Structure 1
């Protein structure tokens, strides 16, 4: 019963937010930052609906989710590869305003259980939790509580924005900051411009197997460039991880545009071992490539120390042409 009351509170707040329609005033790249006392990192909020297609409030409550958001808005693929299944590319709690036919059976059942009688287009509320590499699902109880807390802080600011009464004091008093848009560099409201210094950089993983390093150093260099990336595919990892999508690790020779390795990972936690093993097998078979191109920061952290010890140049590269060509031929 208590959980249903929490859901009802969240739905009621969602209805109030819909009435002030913040998407009339904000673009999805105009980010709002909330500082909640009990949350470990500042929370980033994006308002969807300016294009009048998809309406909602997206709450990016984790560092990983915020890195993926910034990567997406800046047009750089540093966290999640764009080849990934779209559902697996973001980490956020999102409150949507849907049409009836867009609801799942579970979402519709919750609405009926709570006693709401929504009608019309974009008036049916639903709440979906996304995770990078994860299957989308309905909120857990702690996520319902977090979304309520965010909505309670956002609602007065949205109402002030709608009425034209938004001033610095209104936002600063609630620890809400409207950030300069990452899309066009134009501020929505000049209120304590916020940066993302709280986001910690990825840390390089040391490679400590001296026997393997000694073995690979005996291999000659070959004039070949490897392209490597990893992306999520629309296949559930396995019975033990039904909440996760499988991740495909793929490597291609830049000149020939031929695949040199493909490996399916059950979770991205296998990335370090899998990519080191794949590159090691390549070195055993052909020699040390002079250059490796990757576009994801997690791959840089896995390979940086390994490549440094072997004299291989590891470079960030957004356009992995060989991989793009090779993936087109895969039965995905």
Structure 2
């Protein structure tokens, strides 16, 4: 169950965000000039990305933990994935310096209760959590406390840069700030950027009778596109304490661009079951396709063993023409 932060806890977070805004870190850091923080007592680091040097979007993103950092680099490096689908990689907390009309009524009320009076463009501070399967939402108590600590350490790391610490960001280094347990103090130093490699688990279909039946199905010369796509809408459901972002498992004929099946995916659903069911149903109805094209490594890992067992080629591509056309038409319809 969600627990809300107190006004005092929110004020501590806003105070450090205001201090960071005053030093204008985006005037000296690009978004890939990463600050790495290893919080006291934690085993996994957090990386912070400062945005705004380009003069468009001013924000600080914190990617906490191995999986979140991995997803950050997936998002950065997947240039062929449509922008509206990059949210699948975003598991982080954002501190935004934006405009008043970007804030929700709840956020405006909070700022008023805290006694802050922000004015003008890029001066309104608000915080959003990005989590797979959910629309961006305000942080809860634990997230407020954790983010406060991260931003305090980010502020101190930036002060270290101002007092002489040199970091070769251009050649892939980061400023590391961590607590030295031996000497009981925080230390700052330069080191190579930490880019974790995450190995997704590869599920295996154990039903040998089902595998035999799938193998016996006739082959068809079809190329399929499969993805769990993220839709640009929000669902507020009383059964959840966070707003949902609709996810849709879509199967498309890659040649004709015809939609073959689609199914909503909720946070309770098992992605493996949904994807296995989609492909197995197609095989029994139409036959074994020549090839399946998927968008990301996550879905590739789910299907790779099944495809190997029954003799289907599987490839990964950030662009899925049939699915992307459907999504773009969906977005255009919503705008109208």
- Where on the TM-score scale, by shorter chain, does this alignment land: which range? 0.7 to 0.9
Task: Specify the alignment match of 2:69 in structure 1.
Answer: 66
SS in 2 for 1:223: coil
User: What do residues 228-265 of structure 1 show as CA deviations (whole Å, max 9, x unaligned)?
Assistant: 11112224285534532221111112222222211122
- Partner Cα distance (2:222, 2:114) in 1: 61
Number of the residue aligned with 1:23: 26
- Which residue does the alignment assign to 1:257? 257
Q: Which residue of 2 aligns with 1:182?
A: none
Asked if residue 193 in structure 1 is aligned to residue 196 in structure 2, the reply is: no
Moved beyond 6 Å, runs of 4+: none
RMSD, matched Cα: 2.8
Partner of 1:305: 305
User: In structure 2, what is the Cα distance between the partners aligned to 1:145 and 1:173?
Assistant: 21
8 Å CA contact 2:38, 2:44 repeated in 1: yes
Question: How many residues in Structure 1 have an aligned counterpart in Structure 2?
Answer: 313
Cα distance in 2 for partners of 1:237, 1:208 equals: 37
Q: 1:190 to 1:258 in 2, by over 3 A?
A: farther
Measured against aligned partners, the alpha-carbon deviations of 1:33-87 in whole angstroms (never above 9, x if no partner) come to: 1111333421111101112222121111144432332122112578xx7544x76
1:326 Cα offset (Å): 4.0
TM-score when normalising by structure 2: 0.83
Residues 128 and 281 (structure 1), Cα distance of their counterparts in 2 relative to 1, 3 Å cut? same
The corresponding residue for 2:171 is: none
CA 1:217–1:39 in 2, change beyond 3 Å: closer, same or farther?
A: same
Match for residue 146 of structure 1? 146
Alpha carbons 1:33, 1:45 under 8 Å: kept = yes
Match of 1:175 in 2: 178
Q: 1:69-80 maps to which residues of 2 (within 5 A)?
A: 69-76=72-79
Residue 191 of structure 1 aligns to a residue whose secondary structure is strand
Judging changes above 3 Å, is the alpha-carbon distance between structure 1 residues 157 and 55 closer, same or farther for their aligned structure 2 residues? same
Distance 2:125 2:114 in 1: 12
* Preserved contact between residue 237 and residue 245 of structure 1 (Cα < 8 Å): no
Question: Is the alpha carbon distance of 1:238 and 1:309 closer, same or farther for their aligned partners in structure 2, counting shifts above 3 Å?
Answer: farther
Structure 2: tracts of 5 or more residues without a match: 168-173, 180-187
Q: Secondary structure at the match of 2:318?
A: coil
Which residue is 1:316 aligned to?
Answer: 316
Cα distance in 2 for partners of 1:100, 1:238 equals 26
How far the C-alpha of 1:19 sits from its partner, in A, is 1.3
What's the secondary structure of 2:132's corresponding residue? coil
TM-score, normalised to structure 1's length?
0.84
Q: What is the aligned partner in structure 1 of residue 209 from structure 2?
A: 211
1-10 or 257-266, which deviates more: 1-10
Q: Which runs of 5+ in 1 are unaligned?
A: 177-188
Aligned to 2:247, the other structure's residue is in SS state strand
Aligned pair in 2 of structure 1 residues 327, 143: CA closer, same or farther (>3 Å)? Answer: closer
| Counterpart position of 1:228 | 226
Matched with 2:52 is 49
